[in-house]
Amino acid sequence: MGKLDGRVVLVTGAARGQGEQEVRLFRAEGAEVVVADVLDDRGKELADEVGALYVSLDVRREDDWRAAVRAAVDAYGRIDGLVNNAGILRFNTLVDTPLDEFMRIVEVNQLGCFLGIRTVAPVMSDGGTIVNTASYTGMTGMAGVGAYAATKHAVLGLTRVAALELARRGIRVNAMCPGAIDTAMSNPALLDPDVDGEAASRGLDRFYRKVVPLGRIGKPEEVARLALFLSCADSSYITGQPFVIDGGWLAGVSVG
Ligand code: NAD
């Protein structure tokens, strides 16, 4: 028996990275999955491979959300789970961040999460689950990614309020706070066919050894396992909480 047998879960930003691994694991655990992204070719290919439904969904757009929910309900009759995973990262100090860059990050990371909750929760089955992907930078500061960190703090606020408002229907809402994870976001070399992605990953491991107690960058498959935990009955008494998955990075500093 799979941990998600009979459940229908929509994952945003699902064409690659953490979202892709969530799709693969959720399918393996018996869920019907709606793969949602703006990367249509890659998303369709993944959906075809694992037997899921692909929907083109820009999380900033209300119409796209409405169409995605309609497509999910038409195909599977219900929605039991949502993983708000889509996100973008830009590097800039606050004083150098152009307004349009700040707003774009807000639109994808924060507004996208809000629209997901607002559109999906009303049609979600009682007892459903929402998992919002925040970040290590939702729990603490990080110089050079101020706009991103602000949106990820906001995602935790949305998570807590949604948990309070939806609890009467048994809908649980939690957040994941990944540290550095080996996807295109942290390791753009993975997108470059001319670069050895594994060598780039080893380079990142060497870098993160200095700051992450477990001595390596995280894997998207590890985040997917946390998303599964928060989307299935194993977490049945947990709601409104952030879950840090960061190899110990946030635990503190070592002086030795
Ligand atoms: P990624 O860049 O591989 O994946 C992000 C996905 O979001 C892509 O498939 C992209 O097409 C999609 N996306 C971007 N804008 C979108 C939009 N407007 N509408 C719909 N989809 C959109 O990176 P990832 O690491 O898999 O990122 C997943 C989530 O994890 C993000 O929310 C990110 O902020 C968060 N996160 C990542 C890390 C990390 O180190 N990789 C750390 C902490 C949190």
pLDDT in tens, the chain (256 residues): 999 999 999 999 999 999 999 999 999 999 999 999 999 999 999 999 999 999 999 999 999 999 999 999 999 999 999 999 999 999 999 999 999 999 999 999 999 999 999 999 999 999 999 999 999 999 999 999 999 999 999 999 999 999 999 999 999 999 999 999 999 999 999 999 898 888 999 999 998 998 999 999 999 999 999 999 999 999 999 999 999 999 999 999 888 7
Whole-model pTM? 0.98
Of 54, 136, 148, 208, the active-site residue reads 148
Label residue 252 exposed, middle or buried (CB < 10 Å: 0-12, 13-18, 19+). exposed
**Given the CA of residue 17, which atom of ligand 1 is nearest to it?**
26
Q: Which residues contact 199 (CB under 8 A, 6 or more apart)?
A: none
CA of 6 from ligand 1 middle (Å) equals 27
**R_g of the chain, CA atoms, integer Å:** 18
Write down all domains in the chain, each with its CATH number in brackets. 8-179+219-242 (3.40.50.720), 181-217 (no CATH)
Nearest Cα residue to atom 12 of ligand 1: 13
**Given the CA of residue 84, which atom of ligand 1 is nearest to it?**
32
The best mutation among 10, 11, 12, 18 to test binding of ligand 1, ranked by most ligand atoms within 8 Å of the C-beta, falls on 18
CB-side neighbour CA atoms (13 Å) of 135: 26
Contact 35, 15 (CB under 8 A): yes
**pLDDT for 29:** 98
Distance CA 59, CA 79 (A): 17
Nearest Cα residue to atom 41 of ligand 1: 181
CA of 185 from ligand 1 middle (Å) equals 7
Nearest Cα residue to atom 19 of ligand 1: 58
Is 148 designated active site?
A: yes
Residue from 253, 94, 116 nearest 175 by CA: 116
Would the CB of 117 count as within 6 Å of ligand 1? Answer: no
Residues making up the chain, counted from first to last: 256
Say how many Å lie between the first and final Cα of the chain, rounded.
47
**pLDDT for 38:** 98
**pLDDT for 198:** 86
**pLDDT for 50:** 98
CA of 168 from ligand 1 middle (Å) equals 30
Helix, strand or coil for residue 120? helix
The tokens describing 221, both together, are: 């498959």
